[in-house]
């Protein structure tokens, strides 16, 4: 009858060390995602996706914004900055040049871009773009949202967003949600929808024509 081999204390010790090292490696790998703002093992990236966070600063002074996974970013005076972020519930902290905390904004974005207006100055109109990219020449302006002075955070639930002062794309991706154009407008225009409609219709036609390489009809007639 053969005797069973009993593992020695030395073998058990080696197994214990190996398990401890493996656990440390796994924990370290998960921590990389945690400290970069995407959560342990990047779970937030898989659950909520990522998008662009458009930061608008219409004040006379530069502002600085801090979000998880990013160093503090400067948003110049009367300008904007776009930073990539991982979705889910996040907190954006706004500081002045002296590192004084001015404001804190909370947002919850899932597979979408996001918008934060850092100060109350300025208003914006959001126009639906899909009808204008479907080959139909004449379309009525359809407003998705009107963002007044008090609206500081807005989630478009889309990644097909043309931000203020950004060029229009030649085409829209059907996988990224509805096409939207966000444009700065004078706040009084929000109270005059007829004039706002006419104003944006002209600008929209010109910018889409430029994006698609078409010449404006009036320009074509002048050149003849």
**What is the average pLDDT value for the chain, to the nearest integer?**
81
Q: So what's the pLDDT on residue 48?
A: 77
Q: So what's the pLDDT on residue 60?
A: 94
Q: So what's the pLDDT on residue 87?
A: 87
Consecutive 10-residue averages of pLDDT for the chain (224 residues): 52 57 45 45 67 95 93 96 92 96 95 95 93 74 94 96 91 90 95 92 88 58 42
Q: Indicate the residue among 68, 86, 120 that finishes a domain.
A: 120
pTM: 0.75
The sign one gets for the Cα dihedral 57, 61, 66, 72 is positive
The count of domains in the chain is 2
Q: Are residues 111 and 147 in the same domain?
A: no
Q: Are residues 90 and 111 in the same domain?
A: yes
Q: Are residues 104 and 137 in the same domain?
A: no
Q: So what's the pLDDT on residue 205?
A: 86
Q: What is the pLDDT of residues 135-188, one digit of tens each?
A: 666 678 899 999 999 999 999 999 999 999 889 998 888 889 999 999 999 999
Q: So what's the pLDDT on residue 20?
A: 53
Q: Indicate the residue among 120, 152, 182 that finishes a domain.
A: 120
Q: Are residues 96 and 133 in the same domain?
A: no
Q: What is the rounded CA–CA span in Å between residue 123 and residue 117?
A: 9
- Domain assignment of residue 75, given as a range: 48-120
């Amino acid at each position: 009858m053969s005797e069973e081999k009993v593992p020695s204390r030395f073998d058990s010790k080696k197994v214990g060390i190996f398990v401890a090292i493996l656990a440390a490696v796994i924990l370290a790998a998960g921590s990389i995602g945690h400290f970069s703002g995407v959560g342990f093992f990047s779970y937030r990236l898989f659950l909520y996706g990522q998008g662009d966070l458009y930061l608008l600063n219409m004040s006379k002074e530069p502002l600085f914004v801090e979000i998880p996974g990013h160093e503090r970013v400067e948003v110049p005076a009367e300008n904007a900055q776009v930073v990539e972020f991982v979705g889910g519930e996040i907190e954006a902290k706004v500081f002045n040049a002296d590192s004084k905390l001015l404001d804190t904004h909370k947002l919850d974005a899932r597979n979408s871009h996001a918008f934060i207006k850092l100060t109350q100055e300025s208003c914006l109109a959001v126009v639906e773009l899909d009808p204008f990219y479907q080959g139909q020449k004449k379309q009525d302006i359809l407003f998705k949202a009107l963002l007044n002075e008090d609206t500081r955070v807005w989630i478009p639930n889309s990644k097909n967003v043309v931000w203020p002062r950004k060029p229009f794309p030649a085409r829209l991706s059907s996988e990224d949600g509805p096409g939207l154009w966000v444009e700065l407008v004078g706040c009084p225009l929000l109270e005059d929808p007829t004039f706002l409609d006419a104003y944006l219709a002209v600008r929209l036609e010109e910018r889409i024509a430029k994006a698609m390489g078409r010449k404006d009809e009036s320009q074509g007639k002048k050149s003849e």
